[in-house]
Chain A
């Protein structure tokens, strides 16, 4: 079984690398992500083999994503009038593999996804609030190994087909500081983000419970505060500039329909995070630290996050 898994893994990786090489002249990146759904960061594709107690386990992560170059448009004008506007569109498409043949928490996600997004910079005076409006759509088809609860002590994993469609609009608003950026140091700043997303999430296959389609609406809002501004060189601490930021976000998901074994639900997710980002302000070539403390409470269908309440402290170093 293990040998077969490794052989299949090798063939999958060979396919990904092959496609990556053949499209080398295009804007193609081969990256890995922690999860198959909207990863917040990217990292190089990885393949690792762990040998423990005479047994091998293999872990692989790869996302091949093609991102189009943004196409920009305007309704004419010189770009120096308060009635002018501009917008850009881009799309991306790709495939992903997340695989781990560990017995306790096996993972086998693979599939394809495509997305389209539009950003509008609306008319208005540049001395007023900075605003951007966004619209996006995303479709994803694939298969995943899912743990199902059938009331047994040993977890049961089944391979299931999944598809998901998202359609949303959003916006970001930056409040106007009432001073010149040259006059005031450590200027308090804040900006807010909001979005409404329609979702459809479908699970098929496998013989256990949890199959069916759920559709619904997600509303999300976040406020970001930089008490001392965003310029690290204005808030120095030894060789470093420091930018503390606070982000508080709230999100609500309300299912409109549910079919099969799945039940309609209502989920809320709250996150509060304190970030301390450091940046060297003088000639310094060494380790640059960062610190994030966050508290997450709630659940999120689209991130695959079950009901949780956790506090996380992340200490990072950039070399």
Chain B
């Protein structure tokens, strides 16, 4: 397991937030209380209206753009993620593996 640099972590945090914003109907980047991944870590994906047909948008976006820093998150791990924080942790773990 290789530890990620701070720059790599920040890049993955930015990608994860952008992917969540892309999949969620809410315009997250427009509001000060949810414009970074740190501010929405505890929020459930369903509270962001990410469920069913728009959930694949989230993971397709992350897995398509995570290289070269990260690696795709497996469907089994992705299915267990309930919060934005768990999504970010899954992305970081896949990158460190």
A-side residues, CB < 8 A to B, are 69-70, 72-74, 77-80, 84, 86-88, 119, 121, 126-130, 132, 172, 174-183, 189, 191, 193, 229-234
Contacts and interface: CB of A to CB of B under 8 A. Distances in A.
12 contacts: A78-B11, A79-B65, A80-B65, A87-B60, A121-B60, A127-B28, A129-B25, A130-B23, A182-B31, A182-B33, A230-B46, A230-B51
B30 A86 contact: no
A181 B65 contact: no
Interface in B25-40: 25-31, 33-34
B80 to A, nearest CB: 17
A231 B49 CA distance: 7
Interface in B47-81: 47-49, 51, 53-54, 56-57, 60-66, 72, 75
Given A72-B72, A229-B49, A231-B46, A183 B26 contact: no
Q: Which 3 A-B pairs have the closest CB atoms?
A: A79-B65, A127-B27, A86-B64
A71 to B, nearest CB: 9
Contacts of B30: 127, 180
Given A132-B54, A174-B25, A181 B60 contact: no
Interface of B, secondary structure class, is: helix
B22 A130 contact: yes
Of the listed residues A86, A128, A234, the one surrounded by the most CB atoms of chain B closer than 10 A to its CB is A86
Nearest to B52: A230
Contacts of B14: 78, 80
A193 B53 CA distance: 10
B8 interface: no
A46 B9 CA distance: 48
The winner among B14, B30, B60 for most chain A CB atoms within 10 A is B60
A132 B21 CA distance: 14
Contacts of A73: 64
A126 B22 contact: yes
A277 to B, nearest CB: 11
Contacts of B65: 74, 77-80, 84, 86
A172 B47 contact: no
Contact of A130 (B11, B33, B57): B57
A131 to B, nearest CB: 9
A182 B34 CA distance: 8
Contacts of A231: 44, 46-47, 49
Given A78-B65, A86-B65, A181-B47, 17 more contacts: A72-B60, A72-B72, A74-B64, A79-B62, A84-B65, A119-B56, A119-B57, A126-B28, A176-B26, A181-B28, A181-B43, A182-B31, A183-B31, A193-B53, A230-B51, A231-B44, A233-B44
A60 to B, nearest CB: 30
A32 to B, nearest CB: 22
* Residue of A191, A193, A230, A233 contacting most chain B CB atoms (<10 Å): A230
Which among B18, B22, B29, B66 has the greatest number of chain A C-beta atoms within 10 A?
B22
A180 B48 CA distance: 9
